[in-house]
Structure 1
Amino acid sequence: MPLKRTPPQTPTNSSPLPRPEATVMSALLHDDRSTLQSSKAEISMHPNPVIIDAATTSQPPTTLFAPRLPPHFSGSDSALNKHENVTVRPKRKFVSEEESSMRDFMQEMKNMFVTFEESQNQKYAYLQSTLNEIKEKNLEIANSLDFLSQKYDEIILKVSKLEADSKNSQSHIQGLEAKIEHLERKARLCAVEIRNIPKINPNETKEDLCKTAQIIGEAVDVQIKSEEIKDIYRLSSKQESAKPIVVEFTTLLKKDKLLSSIKSYNRQNGNNKLNTTILKMSCPDRPIYVSEALTFKAKRLYYLAREYAKINDYQFCWTSNGTVQLRKRENGPIIRINSEEDFPKTDK
């Protein structure tokens, strides 16, 4: 008797299933096909297959290759449509030793990366806080620099103003000094200064000084009367025994005549110039120097002019009416020296 086969039942519902139900049905049909193939193989391998006749038994015929459904599924369409009650049991995969070691290695690497990330986050937070502090300090420094710059600008303005005031004051002082110098030269215009005459009498009087001036005049053939002397006195000096004598004449002519006569006398008597022997004083022989009575500034300029003449080969250096003058050669131009800036510039 031929074996009766019952094909797998398929849902008769013509409406399309939802996407989850279609997936479940596809899996069930795949399992039924696998079961059917395995059953065929078992029957073919069995030597005496037992076939039960449906006519000789009271039990209903059994379908050998019917699809196996899960216990909680039925072949009805209503059960298949309830996809929310379908549970698929996942199959356990075999894990090899290499895969297990690889998973452990990956987990260890993951832990290392997590630890490294936490460390880097801590360092980044520290760096961020440090950077914020640096920014705050830089802001304070910038504010301080702005404040200092503002104060510096104010100080520069004040210094500029003070420099301008100083220049004005300096020019005003120089003007006043020039006026004072002019007045002093004018006051000493008729005066001469006699140096290197010792003080013999401790109680020396102006009459004694007048007699000394008259003796010097007689030595150079210049008569000096008492009424031609306006004033006579000794200057203060470190050498108490030989303080300079200042003779103020009433007229400029008398002063010029005396100075020119002394120059002629010294020129004519080069070996025996004017000295203390003509005064018949009980003292060692000393040369007597007679020149114009110069102010302190004029004396300094006269000293600098003599040094300048020696260095730069100037033949003549003298004073006239309180002014220092230079001349390099005979009949050459005369250079008036009123200040240190008046000296000719030389190439060094």
Structure 2
Amino acid sequence: MQRSPPTNLSTPQVKYSSNPDLPEFVRSNDDSFINMRKRKQPEDEITDSMVNIIEKTIEKKMNSWKNELDSTISSAIQNSVQSIIEREVKKMSLSINNSLKELNERFGAIEKSLEFTIERQDTLEKRLDEIENNLKVNSSEKRQIQMLQDKMDAMEQQARSYNIEIANLPERRGENLLAVIEKLGCVIKHPINIQDVVSIHRVPHMENTNKRPKNVIVRFTTKITRDSVIAAARATKGLKSDQLLISGTVQNVYINEHLTAKNKQLFRSCREEAKTHNYKYVWIKNGAILVRQTDTSVIFAVRNEQDIKKIKSQN
């Protein structure tokens, strides 16, 4: 009689799991096998549970790794973007600082330039004020000087109020000017007595280049005699040298008031200006230069160079 081998308590019992991969015929023909699988079903549940736990653990771990990777990537991207932003901001800040520094330097230069300009302007204004004050003083002095000059010219012209000036009278060696003036009285039909003549002589021209005969100055005893001779001479139009018994080439002879050098120049300029602007009359009366555009125009006097402008304004 066979006996079961004794159970060794010290030897662990080995459990064998079922094999699901047995052939179909074994599973179909052996009911004991089916019964055995039915007995083994709790172990499959344990295995599935463990698989589920492992899968969940793996999935959790994978999710954890994914989260860590996402966080790492996000952190890396954020750090990279932050680094790029910080670098660009630093560049921009440096550029802005340089620009601001340059602007500050330019503003400083402009401010210095403005200060210099303001100082120069103040200096110029002071100098202009000084010049204006000097001009006011000079203008006042000039007016006074001009007034004195005008008075002197008037006095000089007044001193010649007894004189006539004979222009373009031919010169002869050993000429007798008294005989000429007597003959002049006969020609103009206003007899001139020798007693009415204070002096008679020739005067040199102001310009040495003037080749015309020297003018003859005749001074009478009274202004009335002078004025009468001039009026008679103007009434006798076209006075000629041969009428005065002067031999040689016949010349036109002119009888005028004796003007100062200043008034002569002024009279010459006035005639040129009047001719330019088609004025009809320019003449001398009592030392004053008178101008008239037409027979019906207003007569006005020319006393200085400024008055010559009246000729233009009247045109």
TM norm structure 2: 0.65
Residue in structure 2 matching 1:252, options 200, 204, 223: 223
Residue identity in the other structure for 1:189: S
Residue identity in the other structure for 1:281: I
Q: What corresponds to 2:180 in structure 1? A: 212
Q: Is the 8 A contact 1:232 1:248 kept in 2?
A: no
User: Residues 297 and 234 (structure 1 numbering): CA distance in 2 closer, same or farther, change over 3 Å?
Assistant: closer
State the Cα deviation string for residues 65-93 of structure 1 (Å, max 9, x = none): xxxxxxxxxxxxxxxxxxxxxxxxxxx94
> Once the 2 structures are TM-superposed, how far is the Cα of residue 188 of structure 1 from its aligned partner?
1.0
Q: Is the 8 A contact 1:217 1:223 kept in 2?
A: yes
Gaps of 5+ in 2: 1-40, 45-62
> Once the 2 structures are TM-superposed, how far is the Cα of residue 149 of structure 1 from its aligned partner?
2.7
| Structure 1 residue 142 corresponds to structure 2 residue 111 | no
Once the two structures are superposed, the pairs formed by residues 174-253 of structure 1 within 5 Å of their partners are 174-201=146-173, 208-221=176-189, 222-225=191-194, 228-236=197-205, 237=207, 238-253=209-224
Q: CA RMSD for the aligned pairs?
A: 3.4
User: Residues 135 and 317 (structure 1 numbering): CA distance in 2 closer, same or farther, change over 3 Å?
Assistant: closer
Q: Counterparts of 1:297 and 1:282 in 2: how far apart (Å)?
A: 34
SS of equivalent to 1:141: helix
Q: Counterparts of 1:284 and 1:187 in 2: how far apart (Å)?
A: 35
> Once the 2 structures are TM-superposed, how far is the Cα of residue 280 of structure 1 from its aligned partner?
3.4
User: Residues 135 and 324 (structure 1 numbering): CA distance in 2 closer, same or farther, change over 3 Å?
Assistant: closer
Q: Is the 8 A contact 1:196 1:243 kept in 2?
A: yes
Q: Counterparts of 1:240 and 1:179 in 2: how far apart (Å)?
A: 33
SS of equivalent to 1:94: helix
Q: Is the 8 A contact 2:169 2:241 kept in 1?
A: yes
Q: Counterparts of 1:158 and 1:310 in 2: how far apart (Å)?
A: 42
| Structure 1 residue 116 corresponds to structure 2 residue 88 | yes
Q: Counterparts of 1:193 and 1:131 in 2: how far apart (Å)?
A: 82
Q: Is the 8 A contact 1:306 1:317 kept in 2?
A: no
Gaps of 5+ in 1: 1-43, 48-91, 267-272
Identity %: 16
> Once the 2 structures are TM-superposed, how far is the Cα of residue 136 of structure 1 from its aligned partner?
2.4
Q: What corresponds to 1:84 in structure 2? A: none
Q: Is the 8 A contact 2:188 2:236 kept in 1?
A: yes
Residue identity in the other structure for 2:285: S
Q: What corresponds to 1:341 in structure 2? A: 307
Residue in structure 2 matching 1:285, options 250, 256, 261: 250
> Once the 2 structures are TM-superposed, how far is the Cα of residue 284 of structure 1 from its aligned partner?
0.9
Q: Is the 8 A contact 2:271 2:282 kept in 1?
A: yes
Residue identity in the other structure for 1:208: N
Q: Is the 8 A contact 1:191 1:249 kept in 2?
A: yes
State the Cα deviation string for residues 131-174 of structure 1 (Å, max 9, x = none): 33223223322321331232122122112202211220221122
Corresponding pairs, count: 249
Q: Counterparts of 1:154 and 1:310 in 2: how far apart (Å)?
A: 45
Residue identity in the other structure for 2:122: Q
Q: Counterparts of 1:232 and 1:347 in 2: how far apart (Å)?
A: 40
Q: Counterparts of 1:173 and 1:235 in 2: how far apart (Å)?
A: 29
SS of equivalent to 2:284: strand
Q: Is the 8 A contact 2:288 2:303 kept in 1?
A: yes
Q: What corresponds to 2:79 in structure 1? A: 107
Q: Is the 8 A contact 1:193 1:247 kept in 2?
A: yes
> Once the 2 structures are TM-superposed, how far is the Cα of residue 299 of structure 1 from its aligned partner?
3.0
Q: Is the 8 A contact 1:209 1:233 kept in 2?
A: no
State the Cα deviation string for residues 287-322 of structure 1 (Å, max 9, x = none): 1111111123433454426854895665x5432221
State the Cα deviation string for residues 203-251 of structure 1 (Å, max 9, x = none): x6xx733343333233334234167233422232433351222222232
Q: Counterparts of 2:300 and 2:123 in 1: how far apart (Å)?
A: 51
Q: Counterparts of 2:128 and 2:81 in 1: how far apart (Å)?
A: 67
